[in-house]
């Protein structure tokens, strides 16, 4: 059965990074243009016109693949306007076309997401995203931090959970993960009171 995976997450949670990861597999039709470009606006995402008008999905040619990925953050920018995807209408049209629909909801540190949204969009939009995601059916949650920490092993685990092809050993993954965008938000501290407690607890007592 033909399957489409919908990647979605709060704005700034890694939609572009995950889109690159899923576009690596030769059997998957995804946002392949990102593999040659660091960043592209969501108005150029392969299914963008169908998110805008889900009725147009009845004209989509599904013969090219058995596996598809589309990526939309909540909100995404369309013609300069923040837009919330109409998940219900989009999924309904996909199911009419005979596709199995799966959801992967992206996660990143809450504080970083809110800081990023405020820096880029002027105000946090996390509450809007969380309200939308609460209505999604049986999503698998993907973690930005876990991806950078465990790499291939984490991707293998996700592949099992989603039952969806991922090029877990593709050498390009190393380049995609070469920079952890979280680091620019970190300021190391020299000392915290719990440090002393941890040192004391790990002492050898005589």
- Predicted confidence at residue 122, as pLDDT, reads 92
Is the pLDDT reported for residue 206 higher than 60?
A: no
Cα 43 to Cα 78: distance, rounded to the nearest angstrom: 5
Give residue 188's pLDDT. Answer: 81
Q: Greater confidence, 203 or 19?
A: 19
Other CB atoms within 10 A of residue 119 CB: 10
Mean pLDDT score of the chain: 93
The mean pLDDT value for 29-48 works out to 94
What pLDDT, in 10s, does the model give residues 93-141? Answer: 999 999 999 999 999 999 999 999 999 999 999 999 999 999 998 999 9
The correct answer on CATH 3.40.50 for the domain covering 3-179 is yes
**pLDDT over 90 (residue 53):** yes
The pLDDT assigned to 80 comes to 82
| pLDDT, position 103 | 98
pLDDT in tens, 157-187: 999 999 999 999 999 999 999 999 999 998 8
**Chain segment 56-86, per-residue pLDDT in tens:** 999 999 999 999 999 999 999 888 889 999 9
Q: Which two tokens stand for residue 151?
A: 């790499």
User: According to the 3-state scheme, what is the secondary structure of the chain?
Assistant: CCEEEEEECECCCCHHHHHHHHHCCCCEECCHHHHHCCCCCHHHCCCHHHHHCHHHHHHCCHHHCCEEEEECCECEEECCEEECCCHHHHHHHHHHCCCEEEEEEEECCHHHHHHHHHHHHCCCCHHHHHHHHCCCCCCEEEEHHHHHHHCHHHHHHHHHHHCCCCCCCCCHHHHHCCCCHHHHHCCCCCCCHHHHHHHHHCCCCC
Report the Cα 169 to chain-centroid distance in Å. Answer: 19
Percent of the residues in the chain that have a pLDDT greater than 70, as a whole number: 94
pLDDT classification of 198: cutoffs 50, 70, 90:
low
Domain ranges in the chain are: 3-179
Task: Examine the pLDDT at 194 and tell me if it is beyond 80.
Answer: no
Q: What whole-number distance in Å separates Cα of residue 68 and Cα of residue 28? A: 6
């Amino acid at each position: 059965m033909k399957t489409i995976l919908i990647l979605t997450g709060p704005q700034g949670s890694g939609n572009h990074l995950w889109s690159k990861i899923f576009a690596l597999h030769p059997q998957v039709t995804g946002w392949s243009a990102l593999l040659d470009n660091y960043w592209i606006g969501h108005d150029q995402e392969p299914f963008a016109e169908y998110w805008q008008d889900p009725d147009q999905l009845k004209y989509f040619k599904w013969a090219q693949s058995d596996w598809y990925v589309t990526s939309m953050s909540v909100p995404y920018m369309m013609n300069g306007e923040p837009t919330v995807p109409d998940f219900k209408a989009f999924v309904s049209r996909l199911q009419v076309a005979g596709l199995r629909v799966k959801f992967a909801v992206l996660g990143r540190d809450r504080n970083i997401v809110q800081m990023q949204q405020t820096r880029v969009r002027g105000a946090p939009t996390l509450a809007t995203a969380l309200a939308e995601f609460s209505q999604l059916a049986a999503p698998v949650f993907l973690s930005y931090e876990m991806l950078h920490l465990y790499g291939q092993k984490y991707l293998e685990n996700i592949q099992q959970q989603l039952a969806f092809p991922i090029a877990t050993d593709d050498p390009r993954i190393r380049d995609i993960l070469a920079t952890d965008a979280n680091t620019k938000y970190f300021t190391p501290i020299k000392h915290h009171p719990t440090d002393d407690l941890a040192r004391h607890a790990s002492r050898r007592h005589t």
